[in-house]
Chains A and B, each alone.
Chain A
Amino acid sequence: MTPFGKHLERSLRDLGREACLAALRDAGVRPSEVESGYCGNALAPALQGETGVGQSVLWEVGVRGIPVVNVENACASGSTALHEGWKAIAGGFCDTVLVVGVEKSVMPKGTMLNVGAAELEAQLGDVFPGTFALMAQQHMARYGTTREQIARVAVKNSGHGALNPYAQRRKALTIEEVLGSPMIADPLTLYSCCPNSDGAAAVVLATGERARRAGARAIRVAGSALTTGTYDARRDLTFWPSEIAAARQAYEQAALGPEDVGVVEVHDAFTICEIVHCESLGLCPPGAGGRLIEEGATALGGRVPVNPSGGLLARGHPVGASGVAQAVEIAWQLRGEAGDRQVAGARVGLAQIMGGSQQGDVRACTVHILVRD
């Protein structure tokens, strides 16, 4: 993957090429051996006026003549590309697949990313931080979760990001800095929200036999689940049913449970999200996510480190790339290649991300479980 951050002078092709070359070299796979390509990108049609980004990026590295699919599933675009690539391998259609996620979503200072603007809620004035602020308000009222507990997610993840050379925000924040940054939507402050970012990430997927032949230090995809919202207008705002379903499917596929997981990457676009995801992924009971972060269980050195990369909050969030970057991070962690942010001895990793909004529910959620055999 590329470092995430502001790449004002670099194109989508340029970023994508760097990530694809790194993945192909790591896997010991030549471009001519790739049988199918999947590219996650969400915003290029709106922000750069580009379509067919997958073909553009793969052209850069000489991958041609094969099926290439562009995948848009909002913040879950990259992870959906991963899921589709996994299906191609698991279904027996391909032996080797290249998955890339790429995005340039850094906005001029003072402007907001105006995506999904045609939705009624957006037309009425809804903004992403507000959507998640409503969730935070509900979680606080229902479970007694505190502003401090929610802010601790940003403190933890900024601390992790400070250890990650690929992260956009590399400064560890104090709880005073998080709580004292400008209020965006009550109770979420500026540092409770992930930045807009540019960057790319890529992985090569292959059958076990093909991976062994390449001599790669392969990590097994033990579970891959993609779900859609239930769109129940009266749903409980303290969790997403689609995430519960995706987690259950992925755990069942992997024949593993939350107690087996040693390292986790989740969609912390806003601090409250991580608390909710920890609950829905079974790392703690419903409502206990605030205490889990407060006890330090999800920090590096804790029982089950969550977002050792810094997560979306610190690594940054190039929308279409984030889901692939999570898989890259988990793979590095399981191989023991994560440098200063290494989680000791993790054998099973989990990545969760979600995206889009429809009737107040999420449109897409993925959960991937990766295993070092």
Chain B
Amino acid sequence: MGAPEPVVVKPGLFRYPVPVGEAPALLGCRCRICGQTFFPRREVCPDCFDTGAIEETTLSGRGVIHASTVVRIPAPVGIPAPYAYGYVDLERAGVRLFALFTGAAPTAFAPGQEVELVIGPIRVDAQGREVIGHMFRPAGRETDR
């Protein structure tokens, strides 16, 4: 018996597996009428109320931390403590989203810090499957990308 197949935390948030040769990216949506961008995708723009005006859009994988904290208790969904999370403002789209932080010590994240998107396992679920989600790590230099 091999390891069970991984599952995504929620369908439609990102392409998984990440297509070969592409950078990981989150899938949001944009209202063609007012130009607002949303993540996760929603079916109706809350301001324009036009179901036909929503189109899928790929969001920038780079952003800046707006708020961060270190959690010292395990999450009920199966993340051992300590771990860091917070809100990230994505480049360009005007989207702020909640995400786990990875790729450095939990205490190493702070508001204003540049981060980049990672798609990978965030935890193991009750069935022993890896759960794939979006996280952010300290941004590399442009030339590294």
What does the 1/0 interface line of A113-143 toward B look like (CB < 8 Å)? 0100100111111110110011001100100
Q: Is the CB of A129 within 8 A of B77?
A: no
What does the 1/0 interface line of A99-111 toward B look like (CB < 8 Å)? 0000000000000
Q: A360 contacts which of B13, B69, B87, B134 (Cβ < 8 Å)?
A: B87
B72: chain A residues within 8 A (beta carbon): 182-186
Task: Judge if A237 is at the interface, Cβ distance under 8 Å.
Answer: yes
The interface stretch among B15-23, B50-58, B95-103 is B95-103
Report the separation of the CA atoms of residues A240 and B97 in the bound assembly, to the nearest whole angstrom. Answer: 17
Q: Is the CB of A124 within 8 A of B85?
A: yes
Given A114-B76, A125-B85, A127-B76, answer yes or no on A134-B68 (Cβ-Cβ < 8 Å).
yes
Give min CB distance, A270 to chain B, whole Å. Answer: 12
B73: chain A residues within 8 A (beta carbon): 112, 127, 129, 184-185
Report the separation of the CA atoms of residues A126 and B87 in the bound assembly, to the nearest whole angstrom. Answer: 11
Q: Is the CB of A125 within 8 A of B69?
A: no
Q: A124 contacts which of B9, B38, B66, B76 (Cβ < 8 Å)?
A: B9
What does the 1/0 interface line of B56-74 toward A look like (CB < 8 Å)? 0000000000111111110
Interface SS majority for chain B: strand
A141: chain B residues within 8 A (beta carbon): 111
Give min CB distance, B7 to chain A, whole Å. Answer: 11
Q: Is the CB of B9 within 8 A of A137?
A: no
Task: Judge if A46 is at the interface, Cβ distance under 8 Å.
Answer: no
A226-277 contacts to B, CB under 8 A, are: 231, 233-234, 237
Report the separation of the CA atoms of residues A276 and B129 in the bound assembly, to the nearest whole angstrom. Answer: 40
B131: chain A residues within 8 A (beta carbon): 123
Q: Is the CB of A233 within 8 A of B79?
A: no
Give min CB distance, B81 to chain A, whole Å. Answer: 9
Report the separation of the CA atoms of residues A202 and B52 in the bound assembly, to the nearest whole angstrom. Answer: 48
Chain A-chain B contacts (Cβ-Cβ < 8 Å), number: 88
B133: chain A residues within 8 A (beta carbon): 123-124
Q: How big is chain A's contact interface, by range?
A: 20 to 34
A237: chain B residues within 8 A (beta carbon): 66-67, 87
Task: Judge if B130 is at the interface, Cβ distance under 8 Å.
Answer: no
A129: chain B residues within 8 A (beta carbon): 71, 73
* A121 nearest in chain B by CB position: B98
Q: Is the CB of B40 within 8 A of A122?
A: no
Task: Judge if B123 is at the interface, Cβ distance under 8 Å.
Answer: yes
Task: Judge if B92 is at the interface, Cβ distance under 8 Å.
Answer: no
A186: chain B residues within 8 A (beta carbon): 69-70, 72
B67: chain A residues within 8 A (beta carbon): 134, 137-138, 237
Report the separation of the CA atoms of residues A14 and B96 in the bound assembly, to the nearest whole angstrom. Answer: 46
A234: chain B residues within 8 A (beta carbon): 89, 94, 96
Q: Is the CB of B9 within 8 A of A130?
A: no
Q: Is the CB of B76 within 8 A of A130?
A: no
B79-138 contacts to A, CB under 8 A, are: 79, 83, 85-87, 89, 94-100, 111, 122-123, 131, 133-134
Report the separation of the CA atoms of residues A141 and B76 in the bound assembly, to the nearest whole angstrom. Answer: 29
Given A125-B123, A237-B67, answer yes or no on A117-B98 (Cβ-Cβ < 8 Å).
no
A130: chain B residues within 8 A (beta carbon): 69, 71, 85
* A122 nearest in chain B by CB position: B77
Q: Is the CB of A137 within 8 A of B87?
A: no
Give min CB distance, A72 to chain B, whole Å. Answer: 20
Q: Is the CB of B75 within 8 A of A125?
A: yes
Report the separation of the CA atoms of residues A360 and B96 in the bound assembly, to the nearest whole angstrom. Answer: 10
Given A120-B40, A141-B111, answer yes or no on A126-B98 (Cβ-Cβ < 8 Å).
yes
Task: Judge if B145 is at the interface, Cβ distance under 8 Å.
Answer: no
Q: A185 contacts which of B46, B69, B122 (Cβ < 8 Å)?
A: B69
Task: Judge if B141 is at the interface, Cβ distance under 8 Å.
Answer: no
Q: Is the CB of B87 within 8 A of A134?
A: yes
A126: chain B residues within 8 A (beta carbon): 75, 85, 98
Q: Is the CB of B95 within 8 A of A233?
A: yes
A182: chain B residues within 8 A (beta carbon): 72
Report the separation of the CA atoms of residues A66 and B11 in the bound assembly, to the nearest whole angstrom. Answer: 45
Q: Is the CB of B70 within 8 A of A125?
A: no
Give min CB distance, A119 to chain B, whole Å. Answer: 10
A-B contact pairs, 17 of them (CB 8 A): A117-B76, A117-B77, A120-B13, A124-B85, A125-B77, A125-B83, A127-B75, A129-B73, A133-B69, A134-B67, A137-B68, A138-B67, A182-B72, A184-B71, A184-B73, A185-B70, A233-B97
Binding site for A on B (CB under 8 A): 9-10, 13, 38-40, 46, 66-73, 75-77, 79, 83, 85-87, 89, 94-100, 111, 122-123, 131, 133-134
8 closest cross-chain pairs (CB), A and B: A133-B69, A114-B76, A125-B75, A125-B79, A134-B67, A185-B71, A183-B72, A130-B71
**A134-B68, A234-B96 provided; 6 other pairs, C-beta below 8 A?**
A124-B122, A124-B134, A137-B67, A186-B70, A233-B38, A234-B89
